[in-house]
Amino acid sequence: MGQNDSPPQGGPTGPRSSIGQVFLTVLTHGPLCRRDVAELTGLSQGAVTRLAKPMIDAGYLIETEPVSEGPGRPMVPLQVIPTRRFAIGIKMMATEVVAVLTDMASTIRVARCLPVEGSDRAAVVTAIAHAVATLPAKVRGSRSKLVGVGVGVGVGGHVDREHGVVRYSAALRWREIDLAGLVAAATDMPVVVENDANTLAV
């Protein structure tokens, strides 16, 4: 990747960083002018301008058409560039794996459903790895921009999100399965595993 293909130092989505606050605010509420970002984050407008610059330079944010609200200098809204990064989302159920490729605006670019026997963890991991390998081929340029895989475990699975472990799932007959580790090893991608009800809420 080129010099400007890497995220700004600290990463634009760092959960506690100021740059992460700015990025997440623009992602979820944008387009937003710097003044509005400042009001929503509690940062100063100067800080927002300073934090936005490396994300603009790295191609995560773009300045849209200026907006005039009367006398004075027009405001320039910031907007996330949706195609800057992509992610694979997985919903895992007892009889199938549903896989989607999404951009940063959570727009589903391509989806497919793969039948599996959910209790066969090797078959599940193979299906997920197949989806990760094949879905990006449907959207030009997305493969090099993948940031990771999110797996939502359905059918009442109890998931330890911090460690990526399915502690217990009666329907899948799984207990203490390191699903994040297995999928990461099979895909060579960062993996987050969560109960699907929680991922739906997010």
Look at residue 1 in the predicted model and tell me its pLDDT.
39
* pLDDT tens by residue, 137-191: 999 888 899 988 988 876 667 889 889 999 988 878 889 999 999 999 999 999 9
Look at residue 14 in the predicted model and tell me its pLDDT.
44
Task: Assign 31 a pLDDT band (cuts: 50, 70, 90).
Answer: very high
Q: What is the mean pLDDT of the chain?
A: 85
Task: Give the integer Cα–Cα distance in Å for 200 and 75.
Answer: 35
Task: Flag whether pLDDT at 3 surpasses 60.
Answer: no
Task: Give the integer Cα–Cα distance in Å for 22 and 16.
Answer: 11
How large is the average pLDDT for residues 79-97?
A: 90
**192 or 6, greater pLDDT:** 192
**200 or 123, greater pLDDT:** 123
The share of the chain scoring above pLDDT 70, in percent, equals 87
Question: How far from 187 is each of 49, 111, 136, 147, 191, CA to CA, in Å?
Answer: 37, 18, 13, 12, 9
In eight-state DSSP terms, residue 117 is -
- In sequence order, the β-bridge partners of residue 194 are 152
From 16-25, 72-81, 84-93, 152-161, the region with the lowest mean pLDDT: 152-161
Look at residue 42 in the predicted model and tell me its pLDDT.
92
CATH number for 3-80: choose from 1.25.50.20, 1.10.10.10, 3.40.640.10, 3.30.365.10.
1.10.10.10
From 48-57, 60-69, 149-158, the region with the lowest mean pLDDT: 149-158
**Helix or strand or coil: residue 108?**
strand
Question: How far from 159 is each of 113, 132, 163, 189, CA to CA, in Å?
Answer: 22, 22, 9, 19
**Domain locations in the chain as residue ranges:** 3-80, 83-201
Residue closest to 29 by CA, chosen among 83, 85, 79: 79
Task: Assign 15 a pLDDT band (cuts: 50, 70, 90).
Answer: very low
| Other beta carbons within 10 Å of 146 | 18
Kindly indicate whether the domain formed by 83-201 is annotated with CATH number 1.10.340.30. no
Task: Give the integer Cα–Cα distance in Å for 149 and 89.
Answer: 6
Look at residue 155 in the predicted model and tell me its pLDDT.
60
How large is the average pLDDT for residues 88-105?
A: 89
